[in-house]
Structure 1
Amino acid sequence: MATIPLAVHFDGDFVLKLLPADSEHTMDELAAAAAQNSVGVHVPDQPGRTLRVRRQGDARPFERASTVAAAGLGPTECVEVYFE
């Protein structure tokens, strides 16, 4: 386990946030951690919709069970989190 600081842009939020992510966290866990900093603060909740994570600029999201390490995300790399 290693901590990897990621820049996170949550869709609809105007603030890019630095999030300490564990290398073994799944994308679902990463999305949940990012949501704690944005949903209900700058972004309205959307119950029943799934959170997804993708590398900034990519069209397709990571697999939900993929880990931060398996995705090859490096320090301060930017990911986008959004409701699907």
Structure 2
Amino acid sequence: MALFPLISNFQYDFVLQLVAVDTENTIDEVAAAAAHHSVGRRVAPRPDKVVRVRRQGGEAFYPRDAKLSDTDIVPMETLEFIFCDA
């Protein structure tokens, strides 16, 4: 377990956020941490959607159940958090 800083580029938010997560967090847990800083503050809640995660400018989403430590994400990388259909 290690602290892991990421940059959150959350859909519909105009602010990039520094988010500290743990290397043992799943991608869904990373998405929840990013949502905590944006949804309900500058981004309207979308309870009918799930938040998916991809690399900034990427097209493929990371698997929701993958552990952060098992991905190719590096510290301080910018990730996009996108609302998608469940």
After superposition, where does 1:20-35 map in structure 2 within 5 Å? 20-35=20-35
Question: Which amino acid is 2:63 matched to?
Answer: E
**5+ long unaligned stretches in structure 1:** none
| Distance in 2 (alpha carbons) for counterparts of 1:16 and 1:29 | 18
Question: Which amino acid is 1:59 matched to?
Answer: E
How much does 1:79 deviate?
0.5
After superposition, where does 1:2-81 map in structure 2 within 5 Å? 2-81=2-81
TM-score, normalising length from structure 1?
A: 0.95
**5+ long unaligned stretches in structure 2:** none
**What is the CA deviation profile of residues 22-54 of structure 1, one whole-angstrom value per residue up to 9, with x for unaligned ones?**
001001001011111000111100112111011
Q: RMSD across aligned C-alpha pairs, in angstroms?
A: 0.8
Question: Which amino acid is 2:18 matched to?
Answer: L
Runs of 4+ in 1 over 2 A off after TM superposition: none
How much does 1:71 deviate?
1.1
After superposing the two structures, state which structure 1 stretch, 14-23 or 66-75, moved more.
Answer: 66-75
Percent identity for Structure 1 against Structure 2: 43
Question: Which amino acid is 1:26 matched to?
Answer: T
Report how many residues are paired.
Answer: 84
